[in-house]
Amino acid sequence: MNPITIAELKQRTGADPLEAAVAAQLQQRSEKTTRKGDPFLELLLADAASQFALKVWSNHEQFAEAARLAPGVLLRLDGAWTRNQYGIDSSKWRFRALDDSERSAFLAGDPAAHERQEAGWNLVYETVAGLRDPRLRALGRRFLADFGDRFRRSAAARRNHHARRGGLLEHVAQMMRSAKAICAAYPELNEDLLLAGVLLHDCGKLWENNYPEEGFVQTPALHGEMLGHIALGIEVVNKIWRELFDGDESREWLAVEPPSDEVRLHLLHLIASHHGELQFGSPVVPRTPEAFALHYLDNLDAKLEMTRTAYQTAPECSPGVFERQFPLPANLVQPLPPCAETPELPPDPDRLL
């Protein structure tokens, strides 16, 4: 049988066994013990769009083989899968390495995710090209030119939301859509500044949550581990800004208002404050309208992505109620669909006279 994606596996499994094959890359292998002291393994498996943890008990026929698996190996897993409050499991399953043809198909990724991310890239690129402020436009263009490939394969997080290859691009593109809508409702916002902040607020994650050129296993870098994405983002923007102002193009910006250094400072503030609170890792709290807008746009997109994923994967604990998925605060309830009726036209005021 042809393998299904991890997302499909999560959607289709339940109490009744599902006979299926799934292709995945081993992200992490952990050695653990039960309360009784019996050893078991936990495999964190990922594909282009999702991931799941699978336990390998000590009585599994391939336990010793699984204990030798190295992170990054590409696997096919066949079994009768079920899902309960502890996640996906199978009483009888086997694994093997992907062959060359299977490997090529797996690394090509999910076609739907590829199409979604290509549309996101086009939106980001066109939005940057359309910025009116020449300094922010040049900054955005240089960022995409220098780091576009890395940006397109980074995750927005290690878990919880957009924690997949290309997830950061999807997150930024959706935030840009929302930012444009917010600026239409609140025209006093500096739209160029807000959109540049959306593009760059998580740019440090290119080193904190990055993927190799091939594969779906995040490869954290030393800089990301030691500095974190906010500090790295500030450093990246300052570096590109200095390079731009060393060039001839910057002479044309001397008379542009507001002054360039104020623009840079406000942009850096967006990066520094986008977590919203000191306890969540921001070195400063928002102090401008654009900083508040960016923080809430970021949080909104993250939360809606988490709810979307939870509806697809969380088991129903009663009709219309889904088991709580961390880090959401409570059980989710089935959302209300929109009204399907066509609204009646209001009465003609002339007929009322």
Could you give the angle at which helices 222-245 and 260-273 cross, rounded to 10 degrees? 160
Residues 6 or more apart whose Cβ sits within 8 Å of residue 273: 282, 283, 284, 285, 286, 287, 291, 294, 295
Delimit the domains of the chain by residue range.
Answer: 6-105, 110-307
Residues 6 or more apart whose Cβ sits within 8 Å of residue 222: none
**pLDDT for residue 353:** 56
Query: CA–CA separation, 317 vs 334, rounded Å?
Result: 12
- Go through the chain and tell me how many residues it has: 353
Mean pLDDT by 10 residues, the chain (353 residues): 87 87 92 92 89 91 94 93 83 91 84 90 98 98 97 89 90 98 98 98 94 80 91 97 92 93 98 95 96 98 93 85 89 93 73 58
C-beta of residue 231 within 8 angstroms of C-beta of residue 208: no
**pLDDT for residue 158:** 83
Beta strand ranges found along 207-279 (DSSP E): none
Q: How many helices (H) and strands (E) does the chain have?
A: 11, 8
Query: CA–CA separation, 64 vs 169, rounded Å?
Result: 39
pTM: 0.83
The CATH class given to the 6-105 domain equals mainly beta
Amino acid at 167: G
**pLDDT for residue 33:** 93
**pLDDT for residue 201:** 98
Query: CA–CA separation, 10 vs 53, rounded Å?
Result: 11
